[in-house]
Structure 1
Amino acid sequence: MLPPVRHIIHADLDAFYAAVEQLDNPELRGLPVLVGGRPEGRGVVATASYEARRFGVHSAMPMATAVRQCPDGIIVRPRFDRYREMSGLVMDIFRDVTEVIQPVSLDEAYLDVTEAAANRSPIAIAIDIKERVSAETGLTVSVGLGSGKTVAKIASDLQKPDGLVVVPTGQEADFLAPLAVGKLVGVGPKSAARLHDEGVDTIGQLATMPEAWFARHFGKRGDSIRDRARGIDHDPVQTSREAKSISAETTFAEDLPGNSEDERAELRAIVERLSGRVARSLPGKGLVGRTVTVKLRLSDFTTFTRQTTLPSPTDDEAAIVATAWMLLERELAPDRAFRLLGVGVSGFTQKEGPDETPEPVVAQQRLIL
C-alpha cells in the first residue's frame, strides 16, 4: 500500500539577521548590510542583505573579502538575543498552523501541514503563513511546498526573496530533473565536482544511474540519495526535540583572552565547570559518548567548533575535561579573545551492564545554562 500523500512546507526567512537589522533601523533599509565581525579582526559574514548579495557577498565569506567586493557595505555586529526573539515570534506563527514542526535553525523550519490540509488547501496555508509573518513581524519568508522535505527545501530557495514555489504531488522527479546536482540534499560541493567529472550535472541525470553505481559513489547513503534524486522522500518532520549531543555553554560578560597564565587558568576553570555539568548528566541517562566538542565564539562573533573522537565511549568527567581543554588550548593565540565557550559530548551508546553490548542511541540535545 502506498503511503498517504503528505504536504510538507519548508519555510526560510530571507536574509534573516540583515532583515532584522533593517527592520529595527530604518536607515539601513535599501542599503547593503553585512552582519558579522570586523574585517581587521578576521571576522566573517554571518548574513548579507540582498543589496549586498548583488556584489557577490555571501554567508561565511571573510569580512575583508566582502568589504573589497562591496566597499559601501555597512558592517553591523550580530545581536543574537534579538534574532532569537524574532525567531520565536515566527515559530509561534508556525505552531498556530501545526504542531508537527522541525526547526532547523533560527531562520528555517519544516512543517507537516497534512492534517491542516484536510480542511484547507495546502497552498492557502502557505500563503497564510507568508502573510502572517509579514504582517506580524515585518519579515519576509520564502516557502516551498511539496510531498517531502527534499523538494520543499529546494523549492523554497528558487524564488528568494519572498518566494512561494509549489511542487505538485506526482511531479517531484520532473521538478528536480533540470536542477544542478549540487542542489540535492546530501550532495556537497566535493561530491558535485566528482559527479561533474563523470558527466552527471543535473539531478535528472543522477536519477538515471543504476543502484550499484550509487553504492559505489555514496556507500551507505546510496539508497537515500537515489530515492531523493527520483523525488522519493518519506523522511518524517522530526517533532522531537531530541538531537545527538548533550552540551553546556556560557557567554562571558567580557571577552576573555588566553595569553597570560591567569587567563589560561580562568579558561581552564570554565572548561572544568562546563565539562562537569555535561559529565554529571550522562549517568542518569545511562549514556556514554565517544565525541567531545568545544564551541568557541571570538570577540568578533566568529563562531566555530572543534571536536575529537575518543578510543572508547566514556562518561568520565576527567576524560571529558582533559579532551575539551586540549581542543581549546590548540585555539589559543595572542590575537584571540573569547566571548563564548561550550563543551559537548555526542556519539552516544547506552552504558554497558555486565552482560550487555552497547547500542547506538539518539539522545536529547540539551543546552545546560
Structure 2
Amino acid sequence: MGAARIIFHVDMNSFYASVEQAYNPDLKGKAVAIAGNPKERRGIIVTSSYEARAKGIYTTMNVGEALRKCPDLIVLSPDFVKYRTASKAMFSILREYTDMVEPVSIDEGYIDITEVSKKRHPLEIAKEIQLRILHELDLPCSIGIGPNKFLAKTASDMKKPMGITVLRKRDVKEKLWPLAVIEMHGVGESTSKKLASLKIYTIGELANSNEGLLKQELGKNGVRLRERANGNDTRKVDPDSIYDTKSVGNSTTLPYDETDIEKLEETFERLAEKVAERLSVKKLCGTTISIQIRDADWHNHSRSKTLQNPISLKVDIYDEAINLFHKAWDGSPIRLLGITISNVQDIKNVAVQLSFDNFEQYAKDEPIYELIDEIEKKYGKGSIQKGIAIDKKSTYASKTSFSKDFLEDLKDN
C-alpha cells in the first residue's frame, strides 16, 4: 500500500453559461442556455445556467422545446475563445499550488495536494482555490476531496454549485452504497442494464457482488467498477496524461436531421480534414478508422475498419470513412457524424509496407500533399485546394470536440 493521497476534483459549475454571465453581468440571475445553432429551433442545448435548469432546461433538449418550457430563456451561440481563455486561467490558478494538476476536460481537472497539505489543511486550500476562481474569474466551481480520483470526482458531484465535499473510504458504505448503481461515476445506461440483468441495482450490491461473475459478464471494466464501488482507485494524478494519445477524432452535430447525401458527404469531408490536421500536429498516423452515426432517435451506430497501412492524409481518411458510411447507412435522418483514427503511432517510426497496388499512387501523391502543407503554412489555410474541395460551402460547425482542442492547447503551454 502506498502513502495516502489527498486529491481534489475541481469541477466548474455550468461552465459555458457561467463564462457568459461573467463576461456580461446583465445575464446574471437569468435563464441562459448555450446551443450549437440557437437560431435553429431544432438546435441542441449544450449547457444551461442553474436558473435555466430550475425551469426544466437540460442538456440535449432542443431549442424549440426549451423555449416553449421557458419563454424567457436567453439562448446564445458558444464562444469558444472565451471558454478557452477562462479555462486556461482556471488551470493557471491550480498550478500555483502544485504541478500535480491533471486536466480532464475544458472545465474539470484533478489536483494532488498531498505535499502541499503537509503545511496547510486541505479544506483551507480548497476554500482558497474556490474563492480565488470566484473572485478572480467570476466563475463558480465545486471541489471534491478524497483519497483517490474516484472518491474526489464523486464528492464534487454531491454539492453544486459552489460546494466543497469530503468523501473518505469510511463514508462509502453509508453515503454511496444505498444509491442506485446508475448514480455511480463510470456507470452509464448500458452498463446499468447489464448489472440489472445480474440483479445488481445499487452501488452496495455492486460492491458485494461476485467478482468472477462481473468479469465474465462485463470484462475488466466489471472488476474495475466493483473496486470503485468499494472506494478503491489506484489511478494517480498524471500531469502528462494529456500527452497520451490513443486515438484522434472529430464529430459534429448537424443543424437538421439530415438525409441529403451531398451534405452528409460534405460533412465527412470537413471531419476528415479536421482529423488529418490533428494527426499532422501530433505527427501521428493510424491503422483503424471508425465512423459514428447518430440518428434522429438518438440511436448510435458505428463501423470500423483496420487497414494494412496506417493513414493520416485527409483524402485517405475521407475515402475510408465514406465507404464505411455507404455500407452502414440505411437512409434514415442523421443528427451526428464522427470520424476517429485509432491504433495510432508516431509517423516517423512507421515503415509503410507498400503494396504493388498503392505504391504508384503513394509515390505520386505524397510530394503533392507536402507541397500543399508548405503553401498553406506560408499563405494560410485554404489558399490552395484540390478540385474536389472547391466551392463547397459549410453551414455546419464542428463543436463537439472542443474539449479535445483545448487539451491540445495545454500541451503547448
Q: TM-score range by the shorter chain?
A: 0.7 to 0.9
Q: Secondary structure at the match of 1:348?
A: strand
Q: Is the 8 A contact 1:158 1:165 kept in 2?
A: yes
Equivalent of 1:315 in 310, 313, 323? 310
Distance 1:172 1:234, change over 3 A: farther
Aligned to 2:129: 129
Q: 1:290·1:313 contact (CA, 8 Å) conserved in 2?
A: no
Instruction: Check 1:238–1:84 CA distance in 2 against 1; reply closer, same or farther (3 A cut).
Output: same
**Are the structure 2 counterparts of residues 129 and 293 from structure 1 closer, same or farther at C-alpha, using a change threshold of 3 Å?**
farther
| Matched ranges for 1:118-267 at <5 A | 118-168=118-168, 170-196=170-196, 199-240=199-240, 241=242, 242-246=244-248
Whichever residue aligns with residue 247 of structure 2, its letter is S
Equivalent residue letter for 1:291 = I
Structure 1 segment 324-343 matched on structure 2, within 5 A: 324-326=321-323
Secondary structure of 1:177's counterpart equals coil
Give 1:17's aligned amino acid: Y
The one-letter amino acid paired with 2:310 is D
Structure 1 counterpart of 2:190, which letter? K
Q: Deviations over 1:220-269 (max 9, x none)?
A: 2121111001001111223222232246899xxxxxx99898x9998787
Which residue pairs with 1:358 in the alignment? none
Aligned counterpart, 2:38: 38
3-state SS, counterpart of residue 200 of structure 1: coil
* Structure 2: distance between partners of 1:278 and 1:314: 19
Structure 1 residues 341-356: aligned runs within 5 Å: 344-348=340-344
Residues 22/353 of structure 1: CA separation in 2 closer, same or farther (3 Å cut): closer
RMSD (Å) for aligned C-alpha atoms: 4.0
* Residues 55 and 199 of structure 1, relative CA distance in 2, 3 Å threshold: farther
Match of 1:290 in 2: 288
Contact 1:94–1:129 (CA<8 Å) still a contact in 2?
Answer: yes
Secondary structure at 1:145 match in 2: strand
Give the structure 2 partner of residue 94 of structure 1. Answer: 94
Instruction: Report the equivalent of 1:302.
Output: none
Q: 5+ residue gaps in structure 2?
A: 253-257, 295-299, 353-404
* Alignment partners' CA distance in 1, 2:9 and 2:226: 21
Answer yes or no: is the 8 Å Cα contact 1:181–1:206 preserved in 2: yes
Give the match for residue 299 of structure 1.
none
Q: Which amino acid aligns with 1:347?
A: N
Of 151-160 and 197-206, deviating more is: 197-206
Is this contact kept in 2: 1:249–1:342, CA < 8 A? yes
Once the two structures are TM-superposed, the CA of residue 169 in structure 1 deviates from its matched residue by 5.1
2:23 alignment counterpart: 24
CA shift for structure 1 position 320: 1.9
Change (3 A) 1:267 1:258: farther
Query: 1:360 is matched with which residue?
Result: none
Aligned to 2:114: 114
Query: How many aligned residue pairs are there?
Result: 338
CA distance in structure 1 between the partners assigned to 2:219 and 2:81 by the alignment: 41
Is this contact kept in 1: 2:101–2:110, CA < 8 A? yes
Q: 2:251 and 2:200 mapped to 1: Cα distance?
A: 43
Segments of structure 1 that go 5 or more residues without pairing to the other structure are 251-256, 297-304, 355-363
Provide, for residues 166-208 of structure 1, a one-character-per-residue CA deviation record: whole Å limited to 9, x for no partner. Answer: 0135434443222321122321123324545655332112211
After superposing the two structures, state which structure 1 stretch, 309-318 or 147-156, moved more: 309-318
Task: Confirm or deny: 8 A CA contact 1:245 1:366 kept in the other structure.
Answer: no
Question: How big is each residue's C-alpha offset from its partner over 1:119-177, in whole Å with a ceiling of 9 and x where there is no partner?
Answer: 22222221111011111111110010001111111111111010110013543444322
CA distance in structure 2 between the aligned counterparts of 1:266 and 1:212, rounded to whole angstroms: 48
Relative to 1, partners in 2 of residues 1:326 and 1:6: Cα closer, same or farther, differing over 3 Å? same
- DSSP-derived class of the 2:5 partner: coil
Residues 130/325 of structure 1: CA separation in 2 closer, same or farther (3 Å cut): same
When normalised by structure 2's length, the TM-score is 0.69
CA contact (8 A) 1:289 1:347 kept: yes
The match for 1:254 is none
